[in-house]
Amino acid sequence: MIKQQDYLGTLSSIRDFTRLCYSKMMQHKVYLGHGQVNPADEARQLVLAALYLPWDTDEAMLDAKLLDVEKKRIVEFMTRRIEGREPLPYIINEAWFMQLPFYVDTRVLVPRSPVSQLIENQFSPFLRPGPVERILDLCTGSGCIGIACAYVFDSAFVDIADISSSALEVAHINIEKHEMQDQMAIIESDLFANVSHKYDLIISNPPYVDRSDLAQMPAEYQHEPALALGSGADGLDICKQILAQANDYLTDDGLLVVEVGNSEIHLMQQYPQVPFTWVDLAEGGNGIFAISAQDLKPHRALFK
């Protein structure tokens, strides 16, 4: 489908290859759901990354002539993205979350949670006023949520936990990349099994895709860890365990924030009596609830 020999001689500049990549992405209907929202931007990002150039490379440089070795690397990236359906962040080993760069590979979900909008606003108005001493990012994957929290709450200590030791290897790389070693700790744990502190804030983006959505996901998602996506028939297996146990790990005035995406509907239908606050996100995204320890406590038995 994409043959190196067809392009090495005829195309010469960065701009030429960006246009080619854009056309091929449109022709083959790649799915965009891992960062960029339009194929022109993704084509530009792919080509520049293949050349080790930054996203904001000067326009004038786009007409620079490429070496054969550079063209080959671009075609290799295009082949992986368009034929292999690999999400671009896995090819370039980088994803952005809350304007921060994270190392990623197939050991972790590509960061994309709209929870970033809440972190930027310090979880206002849901989190009670006053100092925040300790935060838990449960189901941390790459560590993006925990690390972003460590930036925003710079006097808080942040624990990050995940059941996957290979995901935590990636989280470790990111903690070092952001020099957060003194402010963060990694816990390998099946949910709260190895957690022993109390937290002012527990934030989680757990697996939450329900069985029907999982069966229909585009090929790009098959490169992500299965453990990071599905969570039973209604997508709520992990979320219900979090809701059943969270009170044991929250301070009395603590807050639990969980992303459940499209499984929001199942949670609302099954537990109409629980006072979840569904968060309105200015920049889009849905399916995130906040609930205080006090509001959750009387209902926790429902989730056992």
Ligand X SMILES: C[S@@+](CC[C@H](N)C(=O)[O-])C[C@H]1O[C@@H](n2cnc3c(N)ncnc32)[C@H](O)[C@@H]1O
For binding to ligand X (CB under 6 A), which residues are involved? Answer: 108-109, 111, 113, 139-142, 144-145, 162-164, 167, 190-191, 205-207, 227-228, 238
- Least CB distance to ligand X at residue 54 (A): 23
**Which residue reads 């004038």 in tokens?**
60
Least distance between ligand X and beta carbon 235 (Å): 11
Dist. CA 38–CA 34, nearest whole Å: 11
Q: Which is nearer to ligand X, 18 or 113 (CB)?
A: 113
Of 87 and 206, the one with the shorter C-beta distance to ligand X is 206
Number of alpha helices (DSSP H) and beta strands (DSSP E) in the chain: 12, 9
At closest approach, how far in Å is the CB of 74 from ligand X? 28
**Number of Cβ within a 10 Å radius of residue 266:** 18
Specify the 3-state DSSP secondary structure of 63: helix
Our CB check for ligand X shows the closer of 50 and 195 to be 195
- Which of these, 146, 122, 120, lies nearest to 135 by C-alpha position? 146
- In the bound state with ligand X, the residue whose beta carbon lies nearer, of 113 and 183, is 113
β-sheet with 157-162: strand ranges across:
184-188, 157-162, 134-138, 199-204, 250-259, 288-292, 277-278
Q: Are 119 and 152 in contact (CB under 8 A)?
A: yes
Could you tell me which of 246, 72, 96, 79 has the C-alpha nearest to residue 161? 246
In the bound complex, what is the minimum distance in angstroms from residue 221's beta carbon to ligand X? Answer: 11
CA dihedral defined by 158, 171, 125, 273, rounded to 10 degrees? Answer: -100
Residues 6 or more apart whose CB falls under 8 angstroms from that of 193 comprise none
CB of 209 to ligand X, least distance (A): 8
CB nearer to ligand X: pick between 18 and 189: 189
| Residue with Cβ nearer ligand X (47 or 119) | 119
Helix (H) or strand (E) holding 46: helix 39-50
**Closest residue to ligand X, Cβ-based?**
141
For residue 179, give every residue at least 6 positions away whose Cβ sits within 8 Å of its Cβ, in sequence order, or none.
Answer: none
* Minimum gap (Å) between residue 126 Cβ and ligand X: 18
Which of 24, 207 has the CB closer to ligand X?
207
Q: Which is nearer to ligand X, 86 or 224 (CB)?
A: 224
The CB-side HSE value for 25 (13 A sphere, CA atoms) comes to: 29
Task: Count CA atoms within 13 Å of residue 164 on its CB side.
Answer: 21
CB of 72 to ligand X, least distance (A): 32
Q: Give Cα 205 distance to the centre of its chain.
A: 8
Question: What is the nearest approach in angstroms of ligand X to the Cβ of residue 118?
Answer: 12
